Each structure stands twice: as C-alpha cells, then as structure tokens.
Amino acid sequence: MPIQHNVDLQAFNTLALPGRAARYRTIGSTAELAAKSLTEQPRFILGGGSNLVLDGDFDGLVLHMAIPGKRLLGEDSEAWYVEAGAGENWHDFVLWTLDRGWPGLENLSLIPGRVGAAPIQNIGAYGLEVGERLHGLKAWDFEARRIREFTAGDCRFGYRDSLFKQEGWHLTGRMAICTVVFRLPKVWQANIRYADLTQELASQHIAHPAPRDVARAVIAVRQRKLPDPTQLPNSGSFFHNPVVDAVVADALAHKHPTLPRYPQADGRVKLAAGWLIEQAGWKGKDLGPVGMYEKQALVLVNRGGATGSDVKRTMAAVQADVQTRFGVTLTPEPIFL
C-alpha cells in the first residue's frame, strides 16, 4: 500500500471525531514496516481507534496496523500458545479461540479494538486483564530498525498500563506491535467473581458455566451497560478508576458510605470513577454535543457532530466537578492526537 495524503480519520476512531492525517498508510505485514519512507516524525500507530481522541488534523504519518493472522503456535502439557496479528479484530479473535476449544479470553469478549493495541493499555474487564494471558509479543522498533521480542514479564503490566505506555512509545510511535502470543492454560476454571457476571449467570440459571456461557454473559452485560460505538460513538471508559491511598479512601467512605472501593495488592484502594461522576451529577448530562452516558457515567459519548475540542471541554468540566466534590483527580484513558 502506498502512502496516501490528506486522509479522513473520522471512520477510524470510535468517537467519530473529525480530523485528517497528512500522510497515511495501511500496514499489512511486518516486512512493510522496514521501509525508509516510514521513519518520518511525527508518527502515530493506529489500531482500532477505540482509545483515541482525535483533536483536529494530524500533520504527520499515521500507520494503520492491519497485519492479519491467527494460528496455534504450539502447545505443551499445560497450555496452548496462540498467535494473532496486530490487525485482527479483538472480539473476533476471542470468539475464534473459543470455537477451537482454547478458552481463557472469554471475560474480555466484545472489547472494541484490535489485537495489537490490547497489550499497550493492558485491556481488562470482568476480573481479567490481558497481561494475565499474554505470553509474548513482537514489535518493530523504528529506532533500532529491527524486530524486538518482549516476554510478558518485559511488558511490566499494571492496571491499564504497560512498558509501552511507561516509555511513552504509544505517543511517539517508536514501537509498532506486529504479533502477539497468548498462553491459554489447559486447566480452565470459570472466572465469574465479578458481581455483574455472577448475577447475569444466576439470572440464566447457569450454575456451572462453560467458556461460551461466560462469553455470552459478558456480552449481555456489556450490551446492557455500554453503548455500541457504531450507534453512539464512544471510547469505552473515558477515565481510569482512580487508585488512592487507603487513608484517602477511608476518609471518603466515611463521608460517602456507598462509595465502591476495591483494595489493591499494594495496599492502595481503587475507586469507581463511574460512581464519582454519577454523584457529581454527570450521568446522562451533556455539555454541547458531548456527554456522559445515561447507563454508565464513565463512558463519554459523542451525541453527534462533536470535535476534539468538545470532548476536551466536557472532560475538563467532569474532572473539575469530581475534584471539587471529592478531591479526586480523574485521568483520561484515551490517547489524545
């Protein structure tokens, strides 16, 4: 694919924000990344555009990762090792693994986006993070001009965090993830401790769910709570759930007894940003064309015709109100381009 000029990116971001790329190229294979013409800066590596706020035109090069491929790389007595190209649709890949009898990713069903972006912010839902199933990955390093291999340990996964974010590579476009290998253990146990999931399965009278049942339950919960980006443009959770010191959480809970709190392994406490936003009066409230979703206050939605500036205005207003009311700082999940 040659480099294209002045390409409209609105269809390539799930918030459907307007903006054009000065230069744009679809990447269909790892080998294409070695081309000298792709070394220009600024450069942005685009996946499914489901974690992106496009703030107007981008005067640089956008590389749209479309590397295909799904295959069983190998297996041992304990696990299957399954490889996927960065350009594969995440949800289709999850369903494909389940079809083949390799469970382990079902809790991450229906997450928008492509495989290559999943490790960058360590996508997670319903009690599972992708880092827990990742075996390793290969990425093209634009500076070293070679493929680099990363093990799961190298990736330094945290809550919505990884080496790729810690090094700022997701902003500088230094590293393009090409293929990802997942380790799917052969001993499978349903991970259904998340309250919404437990309730959904109970309502369907499923006491001993199979992997497919868990996937179906996750899909049902997501469809009930989260807007379909093709119907109502959004980028999923817009803010991280803030993680605060235990003393801060205790003081807040004292004042607000219904505040949901999730103790973390390091002694700190994760708070529910959706709850804070709802209590601050933003659930179902709009500022211009951008608001917070009526069924899940953590999801910012484009009601139609919004620009990146509109998104930033609503974001700042929500942050200010939550800060004033609870003294808690909300940080956005998406990347701003």
CA distance from start to end of the chain: 23
Residues 115 and 263: their CA atoms lie apart, in Å, by 29
From residue 182 to residue 211, the character string flagging contacts with ligand EPU as x (rule: CB under 6 A) and all else as - is ------------x-x---------------
Question: Closest separation between CB of residue 197 and ligand EPU, Å?
Answer: 9
- 237 is annotated as an active-site residue: yes
Listed ranges 59-67, 129-137, 164-172, 268-276: which one lies at the site for ligand EPU (CB under 6 A): 268-276
Residue 241 touches ligand EPU, criterion: CB under 6 A? yes
Q: Is 23 within 8 Å of 62 (Cβ atoms)?
A: yes
- Listed residue (335, 334, 80, 41) closest to 185, CA to CA: 80
Question: Closest separation between CB of residue 50 and ligand EPU, Å?
Answer: 8
Residue 298 touches ligand EPU, criterion: CB under 6 A? yes
The residue from 55, 141, 278, 286 that contacts ligand EPU (CB under 6 A) is 278
Size of the chain, expressed as the number of residues it contains: 337
Neighbours of 271 (CB within 10 A): 22
- Nearest residue (CB) to ligand EPU, 85 versus 332: 332
Listed ranges 18-26, 136-144, 200-208, 273-281: which one lies at the site for ligand EPU (CB under 6 A): 273-281
- 333 is annotated as an active-site residue: yes
The residue from 272, 287, 317, 328 that contacts ligand EPU (CB under 6 A) is 272
Residue 240 touches ligand EPU, criterion: CB under 6 A? yes
What DSSP designation does 33 have? G
The residue from 60, 69, 158, 260 that contacts ligand EPU (CB under 6 A) is 260
Strand runs (DSSP E) across the chain, as ranges?
A: 4-8, 20-27, 43-46, 52-53, 58-65, 70-75, 79-85, 124-125, 128-129, 134-141, 146-151, 175-185, 234-237, 243-244, 261-263, 269-271, 286-287, 290-292, 299-302, 335-336
**Residue in 160, 174, 216, 222 annotated catalytic:** 160
Q: Tell me the CB-side half-sphere exposure of residue 322, using CA atoms within 13 A.
A: 25
Listed ranges 11-19, 81-89, 291-299, 322-330: which one lies at the site for ligand EPU (CB under 6 A): 291-299
The residue from 119, 236, 291, 332 that contacts ligand EPU (CB under 6 A) is 236
Residues 235 and 321: their CA atoms lie apart, in Å, by 21
Residue 93 touches ligand EPU, criterion: CB under 6 A? no
Residue 165 touches ligand EPU, criterion: CB under 6 A? no
Residue 158 touches ligand EPU, criterion: CB under 6 A? no
Element (H or E) spanning 311, and its range? helix 308-326
- Nearest residue (CB) to ligand EPU, 103 versus 274: 274
Q: Is 64 within 8 Å of 24 (Cβ atoms)?
A: yes
- Nearest residue (CB) to ligand EPU, 13 versus 241: 241
Question: Closest separation between CB of residue 308 and ligand EPU, Å?
Answer: 19
Residue count at the site for ligand EPU (CB under 6 A)?
Answer: 19
- Asked if omega into 242 is within 30° of 0 (cis), the reply is no
Q: What are phi and psi of 324, to 5 degrees?
A: -65, -45
Find residue 300's DSSP bridge partners: 292
Question: Closest separation between CB of residue 273 and ligand EPU, Å?
Answer: 6
Residues 292 and 282: their CA atoms lie apart, in Å, by 6
- Residues at the interface with ligand EPU (CB under 6 A): 125-126, 194, 196, 225, 236-237, 240-241, 260, 272, 274-275, 278, 283, 296-298, 333
Active site residues: 160, 237, 333
